[in-house]
Amino acid sequence: MQMVMEKRQIPLFKVIEKITCYPQYCNRCNISWISRNKIEPCLRCGKADNVVGIKETRALSAGKPKEDKLSAFDSARKIYPGTKRGNTTEFNNFVKKHKDWKAVLPLIEPAIRKQITWRANANGAFRPIWKIFSTWINNRCWEDEMGLSESGDDKVCVICRDTGFKYQNDQRGKKVWLCEKCHGAYKKNHPKDGWAVWPLVELERIIEQGKADRRLK
């Protein structure tokens, strides 16, 4: 008589109880904990209206706020009268150049509107042309104080708005100031030429090229 041995599988682990846990976070008390309930009152303040799930909190911090900031930046970019690139390109440059970009972002659009009004109310007084938007951003031109004098006696660099270092008179006799950095960048490629004869757009291009050449060394 042949005997058949029955094989029985012995489980390595025995499941006693399946427990679902929900990470909780209280916005008011700034504390987190694990709960078996989806939403429960805060362990510290005892209120549930300020409690959200951790996943929900992460989605809010990583999603919508970034979109809102990108949208706010685009609103400023669209009204800027000068030459500009796409919103994503300009926004990435803004974030890369300024560590405090979150704090200064709300200042950009009001500053542009203020500068637009300042130029519109020139009444014949000198006003520099609009910079390329990336240059305006890189030089933190939202911090510019309006009110340049027509004679150029304010000693402000026409390119980056820093304190003037040297000046030359243009054809109208107005002083065209350059700061020390912009002056050095200009003289690198034009050691003997005067800068007051150039249109501002071309002068800006020459100086930016000079600065770029210096960075490559």
Residue 8 domain-assigned (yes or no)? no
Residue 208 lies in a domain: yes
Amino acid at 54: I
Work out the burial of residue 205: count CB atoms within 10 Å of its CB; fewer than 13 is exposed, 13-18 middle, 19 or more buried. middle
- Residue in the block written with tokens 């912009």: 182
Provide the domain limits for residue 47.
Answer: 22-62
Task: Determine, yes or no, domain membership for 185.
Answer: yes
In a shared domain, residues 51 and 111: no
Q: Is residue 13 part of a domain?
A: no
Per-residue pLDDT of the chain (217 residues), as tens digits, is 455 555 555 554 444 445 566 677 776 666 666 776 666 777 777 777 766 664 444 433 444 556 788 999 999 999 999 999 999 999 999 999 999 898 889 989 988 988 888 888 777 667 778 899 999 999 898 887 665 444 445 677 888 777 788 888 887 777 888 888 888 888 877 877 788 888 877 888 888 888 887 776 5
Same domain, residue pair 156 and 187: yes
Indicate whether 172 and 195 sit together in one domain.
yes
211 and 175 assigned to the same domain: yes
3-state secondary structure of 174: coil
Residue tagged 């030089």 (tokens): 139
d(CA 139, CA 87): 18
C-alpha–C-alpha distance, residues 99 and 150, integer Å: 35
Verify that 159 and 191 share a domain, yes or no: yes
- Domain total for the chain? 3
- Asked whether residue 141 is assigned to any structural domain, the reply reads no
| 104 and 74 belong to one structural domain | yes
Q: Are 73 and 107 contained in the same domain? A: yes
Residue 134, in any domain of the structure = no
pLDDT of residue 80: 95
DSSP 24: E
Q: Is residue 194 part of a domain?
A: yes
